[in-house]
Structure 1
Amino acid sequence: MPVINSLAALAPEMAQWRRWLHRHPELEFDLPVTSAFVAEKLRGFGVDEIHEGIATSGIVALIRGRGEGPVIGLRADMDALPITELTGKDYASENEGKMHACGHDGHTTMLLGAAKYLAETRNFAGTVALLFQPAEESGGGGEVMVREGVMERFGITEVYGIHNAPNVPLGHFYTTQGPLMAAVDTAWVTVTGKGGHAAQPQDCTDPVPAIAAMVTALQTIVSRNLYPMDELVVSVTQIHTGSADNIIPEDGWFCATIRSFTPAVRDLVAARFREIVQGVAAAFGVSAEIRYERGYPPTINDAEKARFAAGVAREVAGEDAVRDNFGREMGAEDFAYMLEARPGAYLFMGIGPGEGLHHPGYDFNDAAAPYGASFFARLVERALPFG
């Protein structure tokens, strides 16, 4: 069964919602305008309950079916990114330095479309919990919602989410059983030596070559400390030091992102990172201060739920448009916290050609919204059959 007819007919209205959200991006937990828009739409759809102010600006809305049954959670993230938009669209961001560059405006719209359909038809036995989440990009809003007890409070037994994928054919889906996305950790290192005149290096303790040696040596974690069949990324993404061409700086700092899939690898990297940095610092006669933060855990699909969700996607998109053994990728996603709390699955959905995620020229393809909304709606009807 392809895209649901009523949701295909709703496409122009969903495009209006999405473009309104696109014009009014907000960051992290501070989403008063976005949350108010979502709550207003949900009230108009006639959902049974709306719970606001969860994780500051999140919403949980409940839709009850025609009979008793379990509670399924469907999640959409609502926050934008601190990026200046360069699309030139007539619905471009009106909030300077803020932009929906990851398609969360589209995710929110797809779940709203599914909510409208499910509230009208209620062709299922059980309850749908619509999870509109803040702070996916930064702040871990998914973790906060879980910590605040949304799974227990609303009796959620399984949970699902989707993310748009630029440059994947429109309406195609892909996922995998088990680990899908990586854990992400971040390290900041401040290196302190002794500054002075660049023409008199003998009177200084230069932090620059120490930082350079650390950055190079850290790559040996992947090449020489890791079992070759494991997956790991250690990327130094920033180096900051110095103020003039004739001054040896007093200090400098760099930061790195670390992506992995298993607790053992995560612990190995954390230990080796500290050992390498402190060892190089001692060799160069500088001091090093390390701040190493554990971030989002790996996003791990329940194998059975991933197979089920892929089957639903095939109903919407067709047999040849769905891959359920796509493999892993090194991006991270705080939906991981929800999958730690309850079994479920996360999928990617193609939106056709365009700029990539987090690019100032990115824009969500409104033609994709009926596919995502239909996926959510069919998933509920298949997981909670009535009659």
Structure 2
Amino acid sequence: MSEHAPELIESLLADSHATRPAASFASTTSRASRFCELADTVDSRAELEAIRHSIHQHPELAFDEVRTAELVATELEGWGYAVTRGVGGTGVVGTLCQGDGPRSIGVRADMDALPIHERTGLAYASIHAGKMHACGHDGHTTVLLGAARQLARTRNFNGTVNLIFQPAEEIGAGGGAERMLADGLFERFPCDAIFGLHNHPGVEAGTFMFRAGPFMAACDTVAITIRGKGGHAARPHQSIDPILVAGSLVMALQSIVSRNIDPNETAVVTIGTLHAGHVANVIPESAKLELSVRSFSPDVRRTLEDRIRRLVTSHVEGYGATVEIDYIRGYPVLINSERETEFARQVAEELVGPDKVVANFPLIAGSEDFAYFLQQRPGCFVRMGNGAGQPLLHNAGYDFNDENLTVGAAYWARLVERYLEA
């Protein structure tokens, strides 16, 4: 996930109000008082903390979220939701209908943890070595449960709400969003629009950030295997050294963005791994590189793939080696729809005030499989500050900020109430 300097955040908070688009959903002060306020969820703080800490202490990786899913399902059933288990693997959907309104809304939270060994020292730290909630999905799940509780006890809406608890957001291609969609998510649980949220370290807790249009990057992974000719380190002329080829290729790959992509566009090519050889006196037979490729438009994405394939092939062959390229397309660009983003921003302003809302947050080079949902339904993916100076996402010292539990719950409850206004 991309992080932004504190001075940039302060500037955005100060300037965000001047460039806001006209509202698509009208609201007034008198109407605003009818919907969930921050004070309405305060009494659930202790309960939500206990749930979040329990999930944090028992992290589960992609498609293994059995305990978490059962906890979610049990809580939802206790509050009167119709619960469907096993959607797309370990996914859970809780449905609540009120009145005879024809509209429906979906709100999604992710449940999976990461294969990282936790080093927070917290009393509720992971009890499973090598697994931890280093991206805040424990918080996202708990926030949505808090909203579920509030909506169930007030039922201040007219229509149908589907609360979607998704597995396997972290694994890339073939993840939870794709599996839930393949399992008929929107056919079984119709949604006129869908919304999701992710915490954002480096920004004050309880601050909401929005961006219409492309917001988070497409992410592709490329595995490049260079095959040379192994031999003795003392006789390199009798070999084709794949390490030499790989080293040269690392530098050549850096020319792709700088010399092939319009400077007004955003793209990233990062070589994340390079493995070759085992001992100092042997030239190995092969070397392997793995790349992460990020982009924000379909045209740029296609250009990057084309240039990587062509450059890698010609470069390696120029050294007399051969190459295998495994180009894996991952999550698409996350594109927020204009109308729903403006609506979601307006709800945030009503709840926390304009000083804690950023209307046009910068592009984020991280990726999200919520993008698949937005390919099929209009909606908005929201960012919520996790606290200035907090450890970054995917860090062994990271923890979700409990101050956000009731704020996030109130936000989702209010957004549902406003969307399904009685």
Which TM-score band (shorter chain)? over 0.9
State the match for 2:275 in structure 1.
240
SS at match of 1:80: coil
The answer to whether the 8 Å contact 1:181/1:328 transfers is yes
Q: Distance in 1 between matches of 2:90 and 2:273?
A: 32
The answer to whether the 8 Å contact 1:18/1:109 transfers is yes
State the match for 1:170 in structure 2.
205
State the match for 2:184 in structure 1.
149
Q: Structure 2 matches for 1:223-262, cutoff 5 A?
A: 223-262=258-297
Matched length: 385
Q: Distance in 1 between matches of 2:313 and 2:182?
A: 35
State the match for 1:33 in structure 2.
67
Q: Distance in 1 between matches of 2:70 and 2:127?
A: 17
Q: Distance in 2 between matches of 1:175 and 1:29?
A: 29
Match of 2:352 among 302, 313, 317: 317
Q: Distance in 1 between matches of 2:96 and 2:263?
A: 48
Q: Distance in 2 between matches of 1:167 and 1:278?
A: 41
> What is the identity, as a one-letter code, of the residue corresponding to 1:257?
S
Deviation per CA, 1:81-128: give whole Å up to 9, x if none. Answer: 000000011100011111000000000000000001101111111010
SS at match of 1:67: coil
Match of 1:83 among 99, 102, 116: 116
The answer to whether the 8 Å contact 2:40/2:410 transfers is no
Q: Structure 2 matches for 1:376-387, cutoff 5 A?
A: 376-386=412-422
State the match for 2:299 in structure 1.
264
Match of 1:297 among 332, 348, 360: 332
Deviates more, 1:284-293 or 1:319-328: 319-328
State the match for 2:45 in structure 1.
11
2:73 aligned with 1:43, yes or no? no
Deviation per CA, 1:138-158: give whole Å up to 9, x if none. Answer: 142012111221112211110
Structure 2: tracts of 5 or more residues without a match:
1-32
State the match for 2:195 in structure 1.
160
SS at match of 1:29: coil
State the match for 2:16 in structure 1.
none
Q: Distance in 2 between matches of 1:100 and 1:381?
A: 30
How many Å apart are 1:4 and its aligned residue? 2.9
Q: Structure 2 matches for 1:339-358, cutoff 5 A?
A: 339-353=374-388, 354-358=390-394
Aligned-pair RMSD on alpha carbons?
Answer: 1.1
> What is the identity, as a one-letter code, of the residue corresponding to 1:25?
P
Q: Distance in 2 between matches of 1:51 and 1:281?
A: 52
The answer to whether the 8 Å contact 2:37/2:414 transfers is no
SS at match of 1:151: helix
Deviation per CA, 1:14-44: give whole Å up to 9, x if none. Answer: 0000000001100101111111111111111
> What is the identity, as a one-letter code, of the residue corresponding to 1:357?
L
The answer to whether the 8 Å contact 1:3/1:371 transfers is no
State the match for 2:126 in structure 1.
93
State the match for 2:373 in structure 1.
338
The answer to whether the 8 Å contact 2:88/2:181 transfers is no
Deviation per CA, 1:156-180: give whole Å up to 9, x if none. Answer: 1100011011121010010101000
Q: Distance in 2 between matches of 1:16 and 1:199?
A: 63
Q: Distance in 2 between matches of 1:253 and 1:36?
A: 41
State the match for 1:111 in structure 2.
144
How many Å apart are 1:135 and its aligned residue? 0.2
State the match for 1:368 in structure 2.
404
State the match for 2:225 in structure 1.
190
How many Å apart are 1:3 and its aligned residue? 4.3
Q: Distance in 2 between matches of 1:93 and 1:113?
A: 22
SS at match of 1:259: strand
Match of 1:130 among 159, 163, 171: 163
Match of 2:91 among 38, 44, 58: 58
> What is the identity, as a one-letter code, of the residue corresponding to 1:362?
Y
Q: Distance in 2 between matches of 1:236 and 1:212?
A: 11
The answer to whether the 8 Å contact 1:151/1:157 transfers is no
SS at match of 2:102: strand
